[in-house]
Amino acid sequence: MSDSTGSPARRPDGRRPAGGGRRPSGDRAEVGGPSSVSPARRVAYEVVSAVRESDAYANLLLPVKIRRAALSAQDAALATELTYGTLRMSGYYDRVIELAAGRPVAAIDAPILDVLRLSVHQLLSMRVATHAAVNEGVDMARAVGSRSATGFVNGVLRTITRSEPAEWRQRVLDSAASDDERLALEHSHPLWVLRALRQALAREGRADELEDLLRADNAAPAVSLVALPGLATVAETQEQPAAFSPVGAYLEGGDPMDAPGVADGRVRVQDEGSQLAALALSRARPVTPGERWLDLCAGPGGKAALLA
């Protein structure tokens, strides 16, 4: 996983100098200046970097970046796959990078690590030409300000290209020190999350479903919309009604901001599970006009908006 201690300074080989602190708040890395980095990869890098630096919500930031960059539908799809695929499997990719680089990811400068993660996703999980993934990775490393780290990035990526994805998977699994770590690496989940899920399943007598749950947790989710009651209806979204939420709909494709009602706030992007959590609460404890509710879900306020 990404290390939380970024550094404003970099060693020539991309490693972090000892004792480096976090970047100042708001000093978000972007691919600056003219470069040969494709617009889709530029957008993906900026979102992945923002998630690492400031815990940004990728699902909220990515559409904004795509619109600002005026990406074509094809490039928007590429940026989306790069962003979510990289974030979803970053734990697994970090171990691949460590094995290829011969050093822990904590010793790699954070922006360069982001570049490597994006590149590894293309090499191991996408049908991107090897030379394109490597060349774009090197160009991106140069564009984010680490010109002298391009050799390091080039070397790591070319090492990865010498083995097939199945071989890297086996090497990653063989590097695990325990069965739990093997599962955590294979499915790219932090160990503490894996153990918490196991305990939750065990309480329900379903401990044998752990690996199925980890696998399902990595499946790309459908984009769900919520028609805020009193402001919009599911029919207005012109999308397929959700299977479980009476106010939800599934976006079949395209930019969510283009869906009717989204631009003016009457329809929002909200996971169906999040919708159901709010709706279940309202059924258990009906909301009375004028009441004050405290939202402790640590999100952008989607459940509170639905309850209102």
Binding-site residue ranges for S-adenosyl-L-methionine? 297-303
Q: Which residues contact 216 (CB under 8 A, 6 or more apart)?
A: none
Q: How far apart are CA 59 and CA 223, in angstroms?
A: 10
Q: How far apart are CA 17 and CA 5, in angstroms?
A: 11
- Euclidean distance between the first and final Cα of the chain, in Å? 37
User: Which of 89, 87, 107 is closest to 98 using CA atoms?
Assistant: 107
Estimate the share of the chain in helix, then strand, then coil, as percent rounded to the nearest 5: 55, 5, 40
Q: Which residues contact 178 (CB under 8 A, 6 or more apart)?
A: none
Question: Would you list which residues are annotated within the binding site?
Answer: 297-303
40, 29 in Cβ contact below 8 A?
A: no
State both tokens at 272. 């169906």
User: Which of 112, 110, 109, 144 is closest to 30 using CA atoms?
Assistant: 144
Torsion sign (Cα): 75, 140, 61, 245: positive
